[in-house]
Structure 1
């Protein structure tokens, strides 16, 4: 079997991207997906993304341009990936499927996105209505579930050990949660490090995690800003939103989506 692929990254969160509009990729082969994502014996990535035709959009006023199917590096299909969402927009642009504006379908619903200057992609995320605020953490779902907590000495924090402890705790059961550790830098500027379920390690960036941190910090009063700057290990992201009663709407994640290389792998 030969597989043509493209490699993209968004602030260090990297993905194997495959054009599967002809439905040739064996999606049920989780071991193959896991091997393709393996950094020693495969291509190497935090996840694999299939770009497919959306077969469910016939009743929409404006048809979608494509659908996004996302798999974690463990080979299992997963929930929404914000950095992956931005990367698939750049991928669709490379394939001449879109120009600079798009609407596409992901596991958590429809997403609108825009290609901006210098490879920056602005991606609309889902609205957030339910936020669980506890004494030492916040939990919310921004397309994927996220545990958010402020910590001291973020630079030296053991993200993998402490993240795994929370991810596998009774708090979240078998499904688990992504875990974000946060440090406030200024009124509207935060740094974060993320432990991602499915990768089962720290990643250089997590788009839904950055979105969750921005909303969580606003929800607990750490910032009054509606435009938040976020430093992740792999670069910088921005999140903006509108607070409408108890709801967070018009949520946008903005940052770079970069083509790395393309190739063909025999398996």
Structure 2
């Protein structure tokens, strides 16, 4: 049996999208997702995203398997790609349209704009240790400018959940960080019981930062939407960033706003179709 798919990318963070609206159960297992995501023997991608029937009042449900087979709560770049994919399925290309998407992080609302960009209401950031989760502070306290020992070095970190865990550290030169070695050690540090995404952030100006990311379950990626949102929240909390800020990632820039009016985080960025095809189901 073969399964139709569409490949999308948002700032180089790439995903395999599957129309799964006929069932509440993903049509492939995590083990197959690992094979599909392999860039040498498969389609290649940072994850597989399934468009399932909506629940809890949402239009659709998002499930995603990372390239290592794990399932994250949601994905910021992925949900922009999903919104563009749904618009194509519905025949609403070149139309402004808004969707309510149920995720394991709650209902997220992406809006496909007329210029092709996608604006996403990412909801309110979660700041308490228990919500992230992390043991770096008491469960009902925030983690702002805390110290952590990783790979024999003390790092100053701020932690934020955007429905998934993030650990930000501000550095002088993000490009000099050896992500391939330090990233896994942050991800699997015992202070993060559900593992963590880790962002290394270089502040150029309060309204412009550069960020590199090690994603939980995917490793080094060119962009991370939830990570960009968490970075701006962390930057505001530590007095380093404005509430409206461009986050420059290796794959390009995202516009992030942590609104003072409603405490919600808004992300705007691109999502583009790469190609369509069919793949064998394992």
> Under a length normalisation based on structure 1, what TM-score does the superposition of the two structures give?
0.90
Partner of 1:249, secondary structure, is coil
Question: How far is 1:28 from its partner?
Answer: 6.5
Partner of 1:121: 118
Structure 1 pair 182/122, CA: closer, same or farther in 2 (3 Å)? Answer: same
State whether structure 2 residue 201 is matched by structure 1 residue 182: yes
After superposition, the C-alpha distances for 1:62-93 in whole angstroms (9 at most, x for unaligned) are: xx321111111112222110000111011111
How many residues align structurally? 255
CA distance in structure 2 between the partners assigned to 1:66 and 1:97 by the alignment: 16
Partner of 1:61: none
Q: Please, what is the CA RMSD of the aligned residues?
A: 1.8
Question: How far is 1:226 from its partner?
Answer: 1.8
In the TM superposition, structure 1's runs of 4+ consecutive aligned residues that sit over 4 Å from their partners are 24-28
Specify every segment of 5 or more residues in structure 2 that has no aligned partner in the other structure, as ranges: 128-141, 147-155
Contact 1:146 1:178 survives alignment (8 Å)? yes
> Under a length normalisation based on structure 2, what TM-score does the superposition of the two structures give?
0.85
After superposition, the C-alpha distances for 1:199-226 in whole angstroms (9 at most, x for unaligned) are: 1x21000000000001100001112x22
State whether structure 2 residue 180 is matched by structure 1 residue 160: yes
Alignment of 1:81-120 (within 5 A): 81-96=75-90, 100-120=97-117
Contact 1:65 1:97 survives alignment (8 Å)? no
Instruction: Indicate which of 165, 188, 193 corresponds to 1:145.
Output: 165
After superposition, the C-alpha distances for 1:12-70 in whole angstroms (9 at most, x for unaligned) are: 1000000001129755622111111111111100011000111442xxxxxx3211111
Question: How far is 1:250 from its partner?
Answer: 2.4
Specify every segment of 5 or more residues in structure 1 that has no aligned partner in the other structure, as ranges: 58-63
CA distance in structure 2 between the partners assigned to 1:153 and 1:219 by the alignment: 21
Range with bigger deviation, 71-80 or 43-52: 71-80
